[in-house]
Amino acid sequence: MSLAHTAAEYMLSDALLPDRRGPHLKGLRLELPLDRIVKFVAVGSPLLLMSLAFAQEFSSGSPISCFSPSNFSVQQAAYVDSSCWDSLVHHEQDGPGQNKMKSLWPHKALPYSLLALALLMYLPVLLWQYAAVPALSSDLLFIISELDKSYNRSIRLVQHMLKIRQKSSDPYVFWDELEKARKERYFEFPLLERYLACKQRSHSLVATYLLRNSLLLLFTSATYLYLGHFHLDIFFQEEFSCSIKTGLLSDETHVPNLITCRLTLLSVFQIVSLSSIAIYTILVPVIIYNLTRLCRWDKRLLSVYEMLPAFDLLSRKMLGCPINDLNVILLFLRANVSELISFSWLSVLCVLKETTTQKHNIDTVVDFMTLLAGLEPSKPKQFTHPACDEHP
């Protein structure tokens, strides 16, 4: 008997989690994996396309090439290119004596519009960092710490009960007291349970998360409107007619009214426009999926931690609307499951609980009865063997 108890004590000592303080707190993920992908793509792709536009402009020289008259000198031709690029207005005849003008300024503003788009897409990230991350970090640190402590308390409680059982001369008194403690719920730790129940009535985190993704959808829609209104109209226009008869040249008779110019970087403009549409079209379903995750409970983590008392009570309360801070916290706990040392132990115990043939002896409310899966076969024998002697 003493050998069995010694082996059980060694096993329980090995099951205790190390007390980690400080270093592991720096590894918390305060952004969900999909949110991080959306951030990198939504902010990084405009910056990458802006670099492409600037690199092409620097390597190709002048962004336009005007067909100046043959009697123009090199300096005059350069002036025509510079003047037409500065104005970037297309002149066309719209009837007899009527001159219609169309601005081509999106070509000139392309790199800067991409920079503005990147800054705009970064605003929801800043909102999340300053409005939600401090509170979320505090919640996660406390909950992760309490989950691991709750697991350790359960193991230490089992160690204590084993010592009492070994010293007890009357097994009936021991198991009567044990059953009474289970019915009175002495083994439950209400601090974490009440804290999580409080988070079910809080909506600050979920409101910030909804606002972040809603802003991303709004800015994406604004990008579509900008590209459709300003880029589509000039998407295929490679040449335009430029007028340089302004100022001192307005009375010069040898200067033609209109000069044809060609946009040498039209292909870059088209690639950037199409790439932006394609990238943000792909991101829209991802953002919508992030929003829809708030409409249902993520019970994968709870299915494991239901072996702890607080989560057993919590599962019975998850009948209301899932759009609250608790659901957001559960999503981030799932993303930070590597920080939960107790998760791997409880996952193993869940498997053992499902495969055991004596499920009626496992109480999921009292955590130590289920955590100590290795003692399940011997526990019923210790409880029933004296009863057989008393009632032959």
| Residue 248, domain member (yes or no) | no
| Residue 60, domain member (yes or no) | no
| Residue 267, domain member (yes or no) | no
Contacts 24+ apart (CB under 8 A), 162-169: 162/5, 162/8, 162/9, 162/12, 165/382, 166/1, 166/2, 166/5
| Residue 46, domain member (yes or no) | no
- What local confidence, expressed as pLDDT, does residue 371 receive? 44
| Residue 19, domain member (yes or no) | yes
| Residue 57, domain member (yes or no) | no
| Residue 92, domain member (yes or no) | no
Which SS3 state, helix, strand or coil, does residue 258 take?
Answer: coil
- Write out the DSSP string of 139-178: HHHHHHHHHHHHHHHHHHHHHHHHHHHHH-S-HHHHHHHH
- The tokens describing 277, both together, are 């549409």
Which residues in the chain come in under a pLDDT of 70? Answer: 1-17, 19-26, 93-99, 158-190, 246-252, 309-319, 352-353, 355-392
Q: How far is CA 342 from CA 150, 195, 318, 373, in A?
A: 9, 19, 23, 15
Q: How far is CA 320 from CA 174, 175, 325, in A?
A: 40, 38, 13
Find, among 227, 5, 237, the residue nearest to 110 by Cα: 227
Q: Are 156 and 16 in contact (CB under 8 A)?
A: yes
- What local confidence, expressed as pLDDT, does residue 301 receive? 81
Q: Which domain holds residue 330?
A: 3-33+106-237+276-373
Q: How far is CA 292 from CA 39, 299, 323, in A?
A: 18, 15, 10
| Residue 50, domain member (yes or no) | no
Find, among 321, 235, 247, the residue nearest to 277 by Cα: 235
- Residue corresponding to tokens 């059980």: 8
- What local confidence, expressed as pLDDT, does residue 201 receive? 86
Q: How far is CA 96 from CA 89, 92, 184, 243, in A?
A: 20, 11, 97, 18
> What DSSP character marks residue 17?
P
* 79 residue type, one letter: Y
Total tally of structural domains belonging to the chain = 1
Which SS3 state, helix, strand or coil, does residue 22 take?
Answer: coil
- The tokens describing 281, both together, are 């079209």
Find, among 270, 262, 267, 271, the residue nearest to 90 by Cα: 262
